[in-house]
Amino acid sequence: MIVTIDGPAGAGKSTVARALAQRLGFAYLDTGAMYRAVALAALQRGVDWTQPDALAQLARQIQIEFQNDRVLLDGADVTEAIRDWKITQITPYVADNVEVRKRLIELQHRFCQGRNIVTEGRDQGTLVFPEAECKIFLTASAEERARRRLAELQARGESATLEEVLAAQQRRDQEDASRPFGRLTRAPDAVEAPTDGLSITEVVDRLADLVRRRQQEMVRSSCPCCPPESSHADINHGNTSKI
């Protein structure tokens, strides 16, 4: 079973997706880390990230792996390094590169093959896994997302103001929404999950319930003796598009 979690920067996708995968016993894929790894490789190797062809060639050369929640770039652990503010500034060049995205999508398909998995990013439920059995679109207000990002930066000892983070986030939102290939958009069959005012545990509780109900629906649909469910509106208290 493939569970996709898409949403804007700062919505809590990585934290929620990792916790949800652990709760369900699924594998976890952080696709954003893959784009950041390419950006880090460009910085380390002196590749001009403003040159699309050079960046695409680099993406085809490097090896990105996930081991025990750690991100490996050519065998080296870069889990912390890819979260640096400088990498955040470079990453849009990587994300906007069509050939890089095609290469990373290929790796994402390879990683998820034959697994129960929770995968998160911007285009997982639309472009990468349109056939996913359970799609979630995680959201939060702009102010809440900026506060979360600022807290992450401060925890790593990086200096920034809320205004700076909010401005950078607004630019990122515009870039994500206007990207010609792999833009951020909610899949028509995705369930929206607002996270403002909720703890990580509360969000994961709701999503785990959603996934388990979808699993039950899959079992019923494959069993000729089981009556079909008329609706799963009770998940959303009458609104099947939001939890």
Span 171-192, pLDDT tens digits: 888 888 888 888 899 999 999 9
Q: In the prediction, which pLDDT does 69 show?
A: 83
Question: Measured between alpha carbons, how far is residue 44 from residues 101, 145, 191 in Å?
Answer: 20, 29, 39
Return the number of other C-beta atoms located less than 10 Å from residue 19's C-beta: 19
Helix (H, G, I), strand (E, B) or coil at 199: coil
Domains and CATH numbers, the chain: 1-26+116-209 (3.40.50.300), 31-114 (3.40.50.300)
pLDDT at 215: 93
- Does the pLDDT at position 230 exceed 60? no
Res. 55: pLDDT tops 70: yes
pLDDT for residue 236 is more than 80: no
E strand spans, 80-140: 117-121, 134-139
Q: What Cα–Cα distance (Å) separates residue 11 from each residue in 1, 28, 73, 100, 210?
A: 23, 17, 26, 24, 18
First vs last C-alpha separation in the chain: 20
- The residues, any chain, with a CB within 8 Å of residue 124's CB and separated by 6 or more, are 4, 5, 6, 31, 108, 132, 135
pLDDT over 70 at 7, yes or no: yes
Residues 122-180 pLDDT 10s: 999 999 999 999 999 999 999 999 998 888 888 888 888 999 999 988 988 888 888 88
Structure token pair of residue 242: 């939001």
Mean pLDDT (the chain) is 90
